[in-house]
Amino acid sequence: MKVVVPNSNLPRVLIIGGGFGGLAVANALRNKPFQVVLIDRHNYHTFQPLLYQVATGGLEADSIAFPIRKIFNTHDNIVFRVANVTGIDPEGKRVETDLGALTYDYLVLATGSTTNFFGMKDVEEYACGMKTVVESLDLRHLILQNFEDAHQDLDPLERDQLTNFVVVGGGPTGVETAGALAELKRNVLPHDYPELDLRQMEIHLIEAGDRLLAGMSDKSSEEAKDTLERLGVNLMLNTQVTGYDGKTVTTNKSAKGIVAATVIWAAGIKGVVPDGIEDTSIGRGNRLQVDEFNRVKGYEDVFAIGDVASMSTEAYPNGHPQVAPAAMQMGERVGRNIIRLVKGAPLKPFEYFDKGSMATIGRNRAVVDFRKIHMKGWIAWVTWMFVHLLFLIGFRNRAVVFVNWVWSYFTYDKGVRLIIRPYKRKVELDHLDPVATP
């Protein structure tokens, strides 16, 4: 069986993944003499930098997702199919999916990344990742369910487990999530749950390194640390998680551990590589090793971009940052290089332009680094909001997110606190009834 796509005599460029990188390749090839086939397991593109706001009730999922078909519905040479890739046959220039096989002339792997639990099976079993819309919604439902369950007749330890939160990873995602939880504790939960003593609620942020936001400046790191401490977050630097049984987090610093029914894992990611690529092409972090043109090691017609690609350079010996700007720039360059390939022109190497880094830590609090420029506080917070609105796809999404942010700013409220689809806990407290499956 073959995936049904329109017949075409044009060279076929097959793109796997509708993230930032995959969309950039397709955009570079729109209205060009190619048949572009884009495959993704979802029919929407996710704006991942705002997933933590979905998880903490600040935004609804559909405001950070956009239908992929709508992005390209005016470009006749771009075909989109929803499919799961099951394997790649580079020799036969064919991709296997759950819908059947699809041949290609050029293949672009923009498969992105998934949560890296570093081989800790118990943590993988019980902790919550936050890489997809579904995971963020599950986390939001779990957070709200915890507070609903905390109203039952529980002993103090069980109540502590339900109202304590551990965020693992001191990068932008971890810092932003911890800050959002602290804002919930301060401004929202006391009104929703007046019967609970939320002074007992604890938020822990665990980082294996010696500072937060390791990829940013020392000034940003210190600002994030000071701000989170003022918000009441318990910071644990130079601390490694050694295990989690669904109730207690153990670390290399504490034999007793931290009681928490919710652990949010933001400590690392690894590339998603489809079956069929030679192991010799896969490097550190399960990323595909690519040359200066983003061609996968050992292949002439297979490219990799974004989180799944590792291009070693003098400035980035371990590969470029796994962030949206890098994926988008790689995608645009690969698209243009494929055009040059067909024309017989020499390829142009990829050069990353670092547009800076930023992280928000809470209301009126953020840090921004751009070259030698450092901003913090309100101006950095406004800059962070403007940049994120700019990169959202679709006017409606920008408008909805902006209105939500304005509403939250003036009302100190997060409006999306609905348990639409109860999330079944993998571990239940001893006497609580299991939550019904969706």
Please list the residues that pair with 251 across neighbouring strands.
241
280 burial level (CB within 10 Å; 0-12, 13-18, 19+): exposed
Active site residue 135: no
Which member of 96, 176, 207, 223 is catalytic?
176
**Angle subtended at Cα 143 by Cα 141 and Cα 210, rounded to the nearest 5 degrees:** 130
Is residue 117 within 8 A of residue 123, CB to CB? The reply is: yes
Cβ partners under 8 Å of residue 297, min gap 6: 280, 281, 288, 289, 290, 291
Catalytic residues: 176
